[in-house]
Structure 1
């Protein structure tokens, strides 16, 4: 019997809100089965026309958020993924959205997931 578990998503703007910037999810909660995969979608709007960084974090109850990965957008080509996340977590980003794909789901993937936007320096 396959286990089924829930992934909750809460989205926020990283490093302070900036007027005109917002991030949002189409699916505030998702579920998956062990060994399967899930893709979390995050769309964003910004008045900033230069390069951006989009981040994904996860958080377990009563714990600090844990960095998963960073993807560049709008001309920013810098990408980085935490060592522990490289095998099962992947992301793509474009000028209006980013997605996080979690492969080979495990019960420990049950967490709050955060999408974050930062204007590149």
Structure 2
């Protein structure tokens, strides 16, 4: 039997998201209590420079809540970001989103690598549910 959140609520509250060059590695994860869980998103189709990455969690009938800010490091070929949940509990049942914030380049009206405020790309989240 699955225990988990209801339908997805809209993302309009978070930003004016555009195309979606970021996607979940797996659209859903079914886990047992106490499992260590890794949720992953890929952004291999994104060709720009990434300013930072964010993870959000959304419970049923609630708006998404910010969880984690990640500054990309490592090689430029890296195209995946993970969220690790240690010893998962039923209270972790939720929809999880990854978002990337690109850096603006090539715009003569702005300095090179100037941040874009409120401009994120979201993927449709990974739903994590529990098996009993």
TM-score by length of structure 1 reads 0.65
Q: Which runs of 4+ in 1 moved over 3 A?
A: 3-8, 14-19
Whose RCO is larger (CA < 8 A, sep 6+)? 2
Contact kept, 8 Å, 2:5 with 2:60, in 1: the verdict is: no
Backbone CA RMSD of aligned residues: 3.0
Unaligned runs of 5+ in 2: 104-114, 116-132
Q: In the alignment, is the contact (CA less than 8 A) between 1:58 and 1:114 conserved in 2?
A: yes
The 8 Å contact of residues 36 and 85 in structure 2, kept in 1 or not, is answered as yes
The size of the alignment, in residue pairs, is 96
Alignment match, 1:63: 62
Distance 2:101 2:78 in 1: 13
Q: Match of 2:129?
A: none
TM-score for the superposition, normalised by structure 2: 0.60
Note the 1:7-26 alignment, pairs <5 A.
15-18=15-18, 22-26=21-25
Structure 1: unaligned runs, 5 residues or longer:
76-93
Match of 1:119? 102
